[in-house]
Amino acid sequence: MFPYDSCDLTQDLRRLGVEAGDILFVHSSFKSLGPVEGGAESVIQAMEDAIGPEGLLLMPSFNLIKWELRPETWDINSTPSTVGWITERFRQLPGVYRSDHYSHSVAARGRGAKAFVGGHLRDEGYGSHWDRKPWGKTFGLHSPMYRAYQAGGKLLMLGVDYYTSTYVHLVEAMYWHTLRAQSRDTEREPAFPALDRVRLGAFWDRFGGPQHGRVGDADCRLFGIRGYVDALLAEVEKDPRPYLR
């Protein structure tokens, strides 16, 4: 089999529905693509060619090592991304900016990248059990993931399943906000909800949210972040029991 090049992958991304000017948040598995000429950098180039110079590419650059070690190992410039080779290579490239969060940082390159990831130390918005001083709200109003939700971004799941979908954590934070507002117990707040990402993903597939296609050898999904988060939140608020872990 001949390896795919960046042009092949760009064409596949466009067929899937990636468009010029998109804000594109990517969960990825490099090995799912099959052989790629030029490796991870060719994949990144294909994504940036698909969204064009007016687009913004976002990737998780999470520090998901043992929980208690995350704060002491965090350095915005040197701590590796633990969520795949594409994300780690992206983090290292010139012109990539990274948000300052000890656990759930996001890397960005493209139009307005520096400002887009620059507010993660701020403390406004939805709380979660990942929040820890001196860092701001993990999924708060100034976090890159919330900003991509607000800005109409798209989520590309490249060769991965819904277990990787960190946006369910934003749903959890939003749902927890609702539970806390509704609670009549002034001495004890509700427990932070843990939602099953795979079950919610199955609901989303039945709901008809994603576009499906292949990029290289990888089975992929592409969908709007806001539609996804809002649909999942409405489903959980209607009856959380099928989705609680």
The pLDDT, as a whole number, for residue 229 is 98
| Residue 203 lies inside a defined structural domain of this protein | yes
Total count of domains within the chain: 1
In a domain, 61, yes or no: yes
Find residue 242's DSSP bridge partners: none
Q: Establish if 244 belongs to a structural domain.
A: no
Whether 1 is covered by a domain: the verdict is no
Whole-number pLDDT of residue 27: 98
| Digitized pLDDT (tens) for each residue of the chain, 245 residues in all | 679 999 999 999 999 999 999 999 999 999 999 999 999 999 999 999 999 999 999 999 999 999 999 999 999 999 999 999 999 999 999 999 999 999 999 999 999 999 999 999 999 999 999 999 999 999 999 999 999 999 999 999 999 999 999 999 999 999 999 999 888 777 788 999 999 999 999 999 999 999 999 999 999 999 999 999 999 999 999 999 999 99
Q: Say how far apart CA 20 and CA 165 lie, in whole Å.
A: 24
- Residue 15 in any domain: the answer is yes
* Model pLDDT, residue 1: 62
**Per-residue confidence (pLDDT) for residue 35, from 0 to 100:** 96
Report pLDDT for 78. 98
Euclidean distance between CA atoms 147 and 141, whole angstroms: 7
What is the span of the domain harbouring residue 106?
Answer: 6-238
Q: Is residue 170 part of a domain?
A: yes
Contact, 179 vs 193, CB < 8 A?
A: yes
Cα–Cα dist 119/100, whole Å: 8
The reply to whether 245 falls in a domain is no
Residue 39 lies in a domain: yes
- Output the six-digit token pair for 187: 């001495």
Q: Give the helix ranges, DSSP H, for 17-142.
A: 39-51, 70-73, 85-92, 113-116
Measured distance CA(159)–CA(40) in Å, rounded:
14
Q: Which helix (H) or strand (E) holds 215?
A: strand 211-215
0.75 exceeded by pTM: yes
Q: Where does the chain have alpha helices with state H?
A: 6-16, 39-51, 70-73, 85-92, 113-116, 144-150, 167-182, 197-207, 225-238
